[in-house]
């Protein structure tokens, strides 16, 4: 059963409008979450803001946002001032422009959502917008207030629906030149390339969601299940003596040949 939508509004392209519903495409509801408790009483702890100087608790009515402009110097902004500059686009996704699908790199993608028609009458308009983007290999760009912030969003046709991605802000994405610029441009040895390509081929498999399973989560669930049954937690298994760290000076050719040799001993899976 599909989860209930957390947002409902309208998809708009020029004079074409249709009601839509949106649901996050990912979820962390199944993750193990912990509460902080008082060990003596077993009661949950409640957090509270305190004044950093006086150490006294602060009433909610006295909490205010401030922008730091110097040491211990802040510009105070009231909630009304912050709300005054917010967009009114809380319920309408107005597609203002289109860009080529491959023109936006993955690094700009933030959070995916499923967008679906919310009224049988509006399905035709929804389908026309979706199919037109698919046939032209374009994605729509709009702006929307989500999670209490104005965000740029990208609409991408997918199957019978549309995936709406929130996009990262320009100041959130760091330039790769700042990190990759110092790496020397050099052409690898042809023999080394052949060996690495062979190693890649040996390790190539079809994608499976199990590849990104969370083993820590599984172990935590095992511990919790044991505690529910009143069993004692198993001690940490003893590991073999730590191996010496690899030397910085290695023969890449020998290392690759050994890797390929070990890969060849196990059956190859596709």
The per-residue pLDDT for range 89-142, each reduced to its tens digit, is 678 999 999 999 999 999 999 999 999 999 998 999 999 999 999 999 999 999
225: pLDDT strictly greater than 50? yes
The per-residue pLDDT for range 130-152, each reduced to its tens digit, is 999 999 999 999 999 887 778 89
Question: For 185-209, what is the mean pLDDT?
Answer: 86
**Share above pLDDT 90 across residues of the chain, in percent, rounded to a whole number:** 37
* Residue 88 pLDDT: 59
Question: For 205-211, what is the mean pLDDT?
Answer: 84
* Residue 185 pLDDT: 85
* Residue 210 pLDDT: 83
Question: For 232-251, what is the mean pLDDT?
Answer: 55
- pLDDT grade, residue 249 (50/70/90)? very low
Write out the chain in H/E/C secondary structure: CCCCCCEEEEEEECCEEEEEEEEECCCCCCCCCCCCECCCCCCECCCCCECCCCCCECCHHHCCEEEEEECCEEEEECHHHHHHCCCCCCCEEECCEEEEHHHCCHHHEEEEEEEEECCHHHHHHHHHHHHHHHHHCEEEEEEEEECCEEEEEEEEEECCEEEEEEECCHHHCCCCHHHHCCCCCCCCCHHHHHHHHHHHHHCCCCCCHHHHCCHHHHHHHHHHHHHHCCCCCCCCCCCCCCCCCCCCCCCHHHHHHHHHHHHHCCCCCC
- pLDDT grade, residue 183 (50/70/90)? confident
């Amino acid at each position: 059963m599909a989860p209930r939508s957390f947002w409902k509004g309208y998809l708009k392209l020029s004079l074409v409008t249709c009601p839509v519903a949106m649901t996050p495409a990912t979820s962390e509801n199944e993750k193990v979450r912990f509460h902080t408790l008082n060990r003596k009483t077993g009661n949950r702890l409640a957090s509270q803001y305190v004044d950093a100087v006086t150490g006294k608790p602060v009433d909610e009515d006295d909490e205010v946002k401030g922008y730091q402009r110097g040491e211990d110097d802040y510009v105070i902004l009231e909630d009304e001032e912050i709300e005054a500059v917010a967009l009114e686009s809380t319920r309408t996704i107005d597609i203002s422009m289109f860009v080529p699908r491959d023109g936006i790199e993955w690094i700009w993608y933030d959070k995916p959502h499923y967008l679906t028609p919310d009224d049988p009458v509006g399905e035709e308009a929804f389908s026309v917008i979706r199919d037109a983007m698919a046939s032209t290999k374009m994605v729509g760009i709009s702006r929307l207030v989500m999670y209490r912030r104005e965000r740029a969003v990208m609409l991408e046709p997918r199957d019978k629906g549309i995936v709406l991605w929130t996009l990262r802000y320009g100041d959130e994405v760091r330039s790769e030149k700042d990190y990759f610029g110092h790496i020397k441009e050099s052409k690898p040895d042809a023999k080394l390339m052949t060996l690495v390509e062979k190693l890649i081929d040996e390790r190539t498999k079809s994608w499976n969601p199990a590849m990104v399973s969370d083993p820590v989560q599984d172990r935590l669930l095992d511990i919790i299940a044991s505690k529910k049954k009143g069993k004692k937690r198993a001690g940490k298994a003893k590991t073999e003596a730590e191996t010496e760290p690899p030397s910085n000076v290695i023969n890449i050719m020998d290392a690759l040949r050994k890797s390929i040799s070990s890969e060849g001993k196990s059956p190859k899976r596709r």
